[in-house]
Amino acid sequence: MKSKQRSFKGGYIFGRFENQPKDIVSEQGMPELAVIPLSQGFGSEAAPLVKKGDKVEAGQIIGRSDSVISSPVHASVSGVVEEIKSVSYFRRDTRMVYIRADKSKKDYRRLDGYAKDWRKLKVEDIERLLYSSGVSSLDREGIPTRFKSSIIAPNDVENIIVHGIGSEPYNISLDVLLSGKKLLNFIEGLRILNVLMPNAKMYLALNGRKIKLAEEICKITTKHAWLKVITLEPKYPQGYDEMLVPTILGKKFPFGYSAANIGVVVLNIQAVISVYEAVCEGKPLIERIIALCGPGLKEALHINTRVGTPLSDILDSRLRQGVKTRVVLNSLLTGEKLTDFFLPVDRTFSQIVALPDNDRREFLSFVRPGLRRQSYSRTFLSSLLPSFDKIADTNVHGEARPCISCNYCDEACPVQIMPHLLYKYVKSNLIDERLMNYQIFHCIECGLCSFVCPSKIPLARHMKEGKDKLVMQGCDKSQCILPYFDLKGIEEYRGAKEA
């Protein structure tokens, strides 16, 4: 294990916010009505294979499109298809399969051909299991197989980075994901990936506060040169591909493109556990562990829930009563606001954060030492004060004010651009080559500039607006790619065939 913690310039290590999820997992139970999006995770929407009135079994494939990059979708409960209709899901029209559950049937259909001793399987069988389980759709670029599950082929992958950094204010707990037997399953999942992508070096990047866990993994994998375990400072946004790749591989990242474009597959811990479960237990991707976090909840903990469970089933009894709450998906800084609780959880959910709405104006909030407020500006006084869990609400750092040129946003920006300057151009509608020259396309939309700004200017929103306007004007972001990048991608993809 490398003991020196690598890092990057900029970024920010958050304090501990209130109502972190406890290290317990509560079983959510089966929903009355499962709502299964036919588009989940990486790739295109699958075509429905069932119709209204059909009886389905949990684990049965109900949507699949082998001819485009996608992964099969499964019924997460046994029951009867009540309806298939298109609804707006995360701003995209997506077909949903509504299944009325038969709650007496709790088991699920296992995948054909799985093996507890996966070493007996051929590589093509492993690829088929990963594809037909839906696991190949996980994370930002999917897992490459001989099917159309990613933009690159397994043999083209040069590096695999598995990460459990936890640099967000709220994170799913590594102790929950890797407790007891699950740690051994996780390591088997890593070994399976190592066989699947034989030309790739494998790195496991863990939170630097989890030294004991890193040491335990090193002890178990001690004779295996294929795995390098690295601990990293939990500095936000270290978990982003654009930060992980340069930090771990010392390799530049072509901003605006994906890790797969440079032969890197980035996966999280839960994805690797799902790899093990698909190949060794025949389990399709019908369940997720989700961390429920934040002071808008009566109790913060983890749940194990079936995919397709409506948010109302999960949140109605758990949200604090009488408190106006904003619910966001996966990230306090960049998460999508969840408003329609009839919509379901899918394979991409890992955290649900509930924040009390706070639109109160606070007198001189920006000069407070940060006793209960997360404050980017550290004063000598604040270092002498005791540390408390920080307040998390929708007004995390004070009321809107004009820019005071403090440069906090420039300092914190992990890609070293100048948000305050770019913001001024975009706000004045000066959408031209100046934005390109100041590298607006390098912005990874991490939201940190907005978070640290004492004037509460929504800088990240302006960065996105500037990029969108440039693209609308016909500007080509590939001009930002340095000429030595040999981008991999769908054009180079060979060997896709029917499952």
Residue 408 lies near ligand SF4 (rule: CB under 6 A)? yes
Give the one residue of 104, 405, 428, 479 binding ligand SF4; rule: CB under 6 A: 405
The first and second tokens of residue 484, run together, are 């030595």
- Using CA atoms, how far apart are residues 449 and 462, in angstroms rounded to an integer? 11
- Using CA atoms, how far apart are residues 200 and 177, in angstroms rounded to an integer? 25
Residue 13 lies near ligand SF4 (rule: CB under 6 A)? no
Residue 417 lies near ligand SF4 (rule: CB under 6 A)? yes
Give the one residue of 283, 420, 467, 488 binding ligand SF4; rule: CB under 6 A: 420
Residue 332 lies near ligand SF4 (rule: CB under 6 A)? no
In sequence order, which ranges of 365-418 are alpha helices (DSSP H)? 380-384, 408-412
Give the one residue of 303, 446, 470, 475 binding ligand SF4; rule: CB under 6 A: 446
Q: Containing H/E element for 206?
A: strand 201-207
Q: Containing H/E element for 293?
A: strand 287-293
Residue 396 lies near ligand SF4 (rule: CB under 6 A)? no
Residue 290: count of CB within 10 angstroms of its CB: 25
Residue 426 lies near ligand SF4 (rule: CB under 6 A)? no
DSSP for 304-365, written as a single string: EEETT-BHHHHHTTTBPTT--EEEEES-TTTPEEE--TTSBP-TT--EEEEEE------TTG
Neighbouring-strand partners of residue 228: 203
At closest approach, how far in Å is the CB of 379 from ligand SF4?
16
Cis previous bond, 237, omega within 30: yes
Residue 463 lies near ligand SF4 (rule: CB under 6 A)? yes
Tokens 């509460």 -> residue:
456
Residue 33 lies near ligand SF4 (rule: CB under 6 A)? no
DSSP for 164-202, written as a single string: E---SSS---HHHHTSTHHHHHHHHHHHHHHHHSTT-EE
Neighbouring-strand partners of residue 159: 201, 264
Task: Considering only the stretches 26-34, 102-110, 145-153, 457-465, report the one whose residues sit in contact with ligand SF4 under the rule CB under 6 A.
Answer: 457-465
Give the one residue of 164, 308, 370, 419 binding ligand SF4; rule: CB under 6 A: 419
Residue 333 lies near ligand SF4 (rule: CB under 6 A)? no
In this structure, the dihedral spanned by the alpha carbons of residues 401, 407, 412 and 415, taken in order and rounded to 10 degrees, is 110
Residue 61 lies near ligand SF4 (rule: CB under 6 A)? no
**Restricting to residues 76-95, which ones interact with ligand SF4 according to CB under 6 A?**
none
At closest approach, how far in Å is the CB of 376 from ligand SF4?
8
Query: How many chain residues interact with ligand SF4 (CB under 6 A)?
Result: 29
Residue 14 lies near ligand SF4 (rule: CB under 6 A)? no
Residue 407 lies near ligand SF4 (rule: CB under 6 A)? yes
Residue number with CB closer to ligand SF4 (1 or 418): 418
Residue number with CB closer to ligand SF4 (228 or 469): 469
Which residues lie near ligand SF4 (CB under 6 A)?
Answer: 403-409, 412-415, 417, 419-420, 443-449, 452-455, 457, 459-460, 463
